[in-house]
Amino acid sequence: MRAFIFPGQGSQAVGMGKALADASSVARAVFQEVDDALGQHLSHLMFDGPPDDLQLTANAQPAIMANAIATLRVLEKEGGIRLADKADYVAGHSLGEYTALCAAGAFDLATTALLLRHRGEAMQAAVPVGQGGMAALLGCDLATAQKIADAAAQGEVCTIANDNDPSQVVISGAKAAIDRAIEIAKDHGAKRAISLPVSAPFHCPMMQPAADAMDKALADARIDSPLVPVFANVTAQPVSDVDTIRKLLVEQVTGMVRWRESVLNMADTGVERFVEFGGKVLAPMVKRIAPDVEAVSVISMDDIEALAKSL
């Protein structure tokens, strides 16, 4: 059994997708469709920068999605492969859940681009710059991270944002609380605590205005039943029901990304091979979570050709 997986924010870099676009008309068509949907030359920003503009949440989210979908489409169209025949599940990390839903046919490409642009803008607007923060706790499991967050909160928001793998948990909340967490992390058993260069405190209750905005946007969006079940971030369980998908995407804005549990649950259902499209972030996490499974990252044309031969 296989799962196709899709990365989240932080995997963006200037030059992303350029070699793929140079090599494949299929990839170029994906980037053009996203550009047209957004009314913006996002592909130019992806290929050539400037980096500061690409890092903006409202640009990074649709860019990461476009790059991953372009990679998948090249595999499908040039490799003659159907996702429904080769993947048993799809999943994505945070914004990657939208990419996964697009990959599985629940959203069309233009809708996905517009939703992610709206999501990025809403998340950025939810909390004034400087009032929130996020930190990665390294060498730290979920229980330890929870103790650190609880001790640092002192009446402010400080919660688990991403349970990434057995040695990496990300916390999110008010800047002062996150600063306190970084100070006390080692005393509570973490090896290191690193402040993340993000513009807002994602996946915490401070994002409620963004969740409300996405509730409205998703109410008007067309969602079809996915070709294969999608493992949802907030439940770490497979979902195919359209109304449930819609509800969970709203909850995801403020909720914890349960990536470690999702991978374990997919492995428990029999998934032995995880294929990450458009990044090299999730596959290493997968190996730390479930060392016995196979996990590969597919980025280049060579990667796509090698994958096509192995499927």
Dist. CA 256–CA 242, nearest whole Å:
21
Residue-averaged pLDDT of the chain: 97
Q: Is residue 203 among the annotated active site residues?
A: yes
Q: What is the pLDDT of residue 129?
A: 87
Q: What percent of the chain has pLDDT over 70?
A: 100
Angle between helices 259-268 and 282-289 (to 10 degrees): 60
Q: What is the pTM of this model?
A: 0.97
User: Catalytic pick from 43, 94, 199, 297?
Assistant: 94
- Candidates 11, 203, 262, 297; catalytic one: 203
Structure tokens at 97: 């859940």
The pLDDT value given to residue 211: 98
- Residues 107-147 pLDDT 10s: 999 999 999 999 999 999 999 989 999 999 999 999 999 99
- The pLDDT tens digits for 28-68 are 999 999 999 999 999 999 999 999 999 999 999 999 999 99
Annotation says 188 is catalytic: no
Inform me whether the pLDDT recorded for 13 exceeds 90: yes
Q: What is the reported pLDDT for 257?
A: 98
Task: Please count the residues of the chain.
Answer: 311
> Quick one: which of 211, 203, 201 has its CA closest to 178?
201
pLDDT(11) > 90: no
Instruction: Quick: pLDDT tens for 141-192.
Output: 999 999 999 999 999 999 999 999 999 999 999 999 999 999 999 999 999 9
